[in-house]
Amino acid sequence: MNNKNSLLVELFVEELPPKALKKLGDAFAGVLRDQLVAQGLAEAGSVLTAYASPRRLAAHLTHVAEGAADKAVSQKLMPVAVGLDASGQPTPAMLKRLGALGADASAVPGLKRAMDGKAEALFYESTAKGATLAEGLQKALAEAIAKLPIPKVMSYQLESGCELPGWSSVSFVRPAHGLVALHGDTVVPIEALGLQAGRETHGHRFEAAVDPVVLRDANSYALQLQDEGAVIASFEARRAEIARQLAAAAVKVGGGSVPIHDDALLDEVTALVERPNVLVCSFEREFLEVPQECLILTMKANQKYFPLLDAQAKLTNKFLVVSNISPDDASAVIEGNERVVRPRLADAKFFFDQDRKKSLASRVESLGKVVYHNKLGTQGERVQRVMHIARAIAERLAEKLGDGKVAAQATQAAQLAKADLVTDMVGEFPELQGTMGRYYALHDGLDAAVADAIEDHYKPRFAGDELPRNNVGLVVALADKLETLVGMFGIGNLPTGDRDPFALRRHALGVIRMLVEKDLALGLDALLQDAAAQFGAIAGFDSSKATVELRDFILDRLAGSLREQGASAQEVDAVLAPLPQRLGEVPKLLAAVRAFAALPAAAALAAANKRIGNILKKAPEADAHVSELLLQEPAEKALHAAMAKVVPAANAQFEAGDYTASLQTLAALREPVDAFFDGVMVNAEQADLRLNRLGLLMSLHAAMNRVAQLERLAV
């Protein structure tokens, strides 16, 4: 009987890289499962459980067989005409092929004949014996190890006398010291990384009740490790336990305290401990005079601590430590962590105090010594470009914003926006650029709108990030991103495939979000031309790439974003094909196209529009002039009359921004357009008649394509 038991495979290793642990654990278990299913040793519905702790990768899989079922195999040999001679005897080629399969001439009568394309072929049918679990698992484990997404491989020598034949050195993510393979309660005899499989593993370095932990069977793995080894083997279970303890500790501290929410930090800490124990620590209140962003960052990045915030989201002088040990008296652990964090906080306070001794304005000159890009100059030169672009944007928006101060404030904020790059604090913590600029600007007595803009000019920094909080920040953020995009495109430094070292795709989406969500009255081409004008003196700068190619790149990013939001490719193409200048209008244009597409007349008008476009492409001599005296056929007179009534109304609605009504008004032209194509020969022999009819179609085409290129909706 082919028993189906649970299977447990574990690699016991030295401490794995924490930021890669979860990915390693999922990949190890996933490939192992997929390989066993592919070989017929596990069922498609077998339940997989991945385990990953600092010192182990493991997988538990239910319903695994001792051996795979035999398979019927049909192998094509060759066409009948090639394999058999005129008397039906096997040819030398056939005998050679059969020999390669372990058969001889006696197999010929049993060969199957079947059509293969246009010729009849011979097939050899046999039974392939299913793999045993040991064979299949050996192959699956080798594949799982080979496909691990290892960030960096280590090569190491095996301990003398411990290696298997043929093994003396190994390349793996970390040195491996143990291999477990249990099918039910039976050890599966496999090997890997110079190790022979057994049933022994190891628990916590210091707190395991026994060592080694001798596993009874595959199903007892997690429970035995927890009870005897003091290890929570499951990454998810360990993560949940840490989150539970963090919340409980915060409640115990009181005052509405909550641990800072950071999924990446929680994942990293989960990968650092096997038996989590959350402890409450504190630091001197005087450090709270330092901006909380600095203290939070140093505690998270350097020490992997969880700062505690009060009910108003302000930093307290308490923080939580996730320890890997649980002593009866934790005071020494608490004191040790408090002693370690104190110099870090003192450094932050020192940097903050030193930085405030110089104004931001006094630091701008130093930016001239900081290289931005070897072709685009220094950060100082970049700042000058951003300043001019910001002023140009503010002046274009002046009437709508109704605030004469924005241009001056945006210019000042643009000048100071990069000054914190040469401060001690940002030198130590680059993640704080912009944030520290705001604090230092406020310390210098600058207007809050300018200070906020200095911080906000990096926004949006990622998908879903908030936009700048005021108009000054909006202008500077636009200018900063446009300077980067125009500069990089101008020197041909374009993103390719997965490579985008200057985050140009992200910058483009940031520009799109600001233009669309704030509905800014700015033309895209004008923006790019204003920005490109600031690069005129740079050798090798290509204005065409910086404007035309960049415009297409931005519209392509917008198209992708709209499709992700649920718009169809046809709708998006129709709206973006005319190269709309005000991107803030695009959502309204898209809504109008969707409403038009739902009308009964939409399909016919879209098809007619496509037909008109094709006619006009072949008639470069045409212009939009129409003479009523040359209108002869009733259908062309009727179309001209209908257009005289409908088009002005549609244009008025378009100018008023009611794009939906404009397209719906144009839908009334369906019947006269259909009648025109049924009853009028456009390419008449008389040149004046032909040009007049082409002019009528050109006028119609222009009117119908103001909102969107309707022919893109044609099926």
Write the pLDDT tens digit of every residue in 468-504: 999 999 999 999 999 999 999 999 989 888 888 899 9
Q: Do residues 441 and 458 make contact, with C-beta atoms less than 8 angstroms apart?
A: no
Is residue 354 within a helix (H) or strand (E), and if so which, with residue range? helix 331-355
Q: Report whether pLDDT(8) > 60.
A: yes
Exposure string of 203-217, with b = 16+ CB inside 10 Å and e = fewer, is: bbbebbeeebbebeb
Q: With the C-alpha atoms ordered 113, 118, 119, 121, is the resulting torsion angle positive or negative?
A: negative
The pLDDT value given to residue 89? 87
Task: Say if residue 22's pLDDT is above 60.
Answer: yes
Rg for the chain, CA atoms, rounded: 36
Burial 447-465 (b: 16+ CB within 10 A, else e): eebbbbbbbbbbbbeeeee
Residue 426: the pLDDT is 95
Q: Tokens representing 474?
A: 């909006």
The pair of structure tokens assigned to 579 is: 């190269």
Nearest to 543 by CA among 558, 525, 516: 525
620: number of Cβ within 10 Å = 6
Tell me the three state secondary structure of residue 316.
strand
Strand partners, 186: 183
Under CATH, to which class is 362-566 assigned? mainly alpha
Compute the distance between CA of residue 250 and CA of residue 255 in angstroms, rounded to an integer. 9
Residue 167: the pLDDT is 59
Return the ∠ at Cα 118 (arms to 112 and 124), rounded to 5°.
20
pLDDT at position 105? 82
pLDDT for res 416: 97
CA angle 485, 490, 493 (to 5 degrees): 75
| Cα–Cα–Cα angle for 40, 42, 48, rounded to 5 degrees | 150
The two three-digit tokens of residue 523, written as one number: 């033309």
Nearest to residue 57, comparing CAs of 113, 15, 110? 15
pLDDT tens readout for residues 234-250 = 999 999 999 999 999 99
| Mean of pLDDT values over 251-267 | 93
Which pLDDT score, from 0 to 100, does residue 1 have?
A: 42
Across 151-197, the runs of DSSP E, i.e. the strands, are 154-157, 169-172, 176-183, 186-187, 191-192, 195-196
Q: Is the pLDDT score of 620 beyond 70?
A: yes
The whole-number pLDDT of residue 402 equals 64
CATH class belonging to 586-713: mainly alpha
CB contact at 8 A, 165 and 147: no
Higher pLDDT, 215 or 673: 215
User: What are phi and psi for residue 553, nearest 5 degrees?
Assistant: -65, -45
Q: What is the pLDDT of residues 589-609, one digit of tens each?
A: 999 999 888 888 888 888 888
Residue type, 466: E
Checking if the pLDDT of 446 tops 90, the result is yes
> Over the range 555-590, which residues count as b (16 or more CB within 10 Å of their CB) and which as e?
bebbbebbeeeebeeebbbbbbeeebebbbbbbbbb
CA distance 592 to 543: 34
Cross-strand pairs, 315? 309
Tell which wins on pLDDT, 399 or 380.
Answer: 380
pLDDT of 3 higher than 80:
no
Q: Please, how many CA atoms are within 13 Å of residue 68, restricted to the half-sphere of its CB?
A: 23
Quickly list H helices, 263-330. Answer: 263-270, 292-303
Lowest mean pLDDT among 125-134, 451-460, 491-500, 622-631: 125-134
pLDDT digits (tens, 9 = 90+) for 568-588: 999 999 999 999 999 999 999
pLDDT of residue 704: 87
| H or E segment and range at residue 528 | helix 524-532
Largest CA distance in the chain: 106
Model confidence at 100: pLDDT above 80 = yes
Predicted local confidence at residue 112, as pLDDT: 87
Which residue reads 């290696």 in tokens? Answer: 163
Report the chain's mean pLDDT, rounded to a whole number: 90
- Which residue's structure tokens are 């190491």? 156
Instruction: Calculate what percentage of the chain has a pLDDT beyond 70.
Output: 97
Whole-number pLDDT of residue 370: 93
- Tokens 């009874």 map to which residue? 216
Look at residue 388 and tell me whether its pLDDT is greater than 50.
yes
- The answer to whether 239 and 254 have CB atoms below 8 angstroms apart is no
Asked if 190 and 141 touch (Cβ cutoff 8 Å), the reply is yes
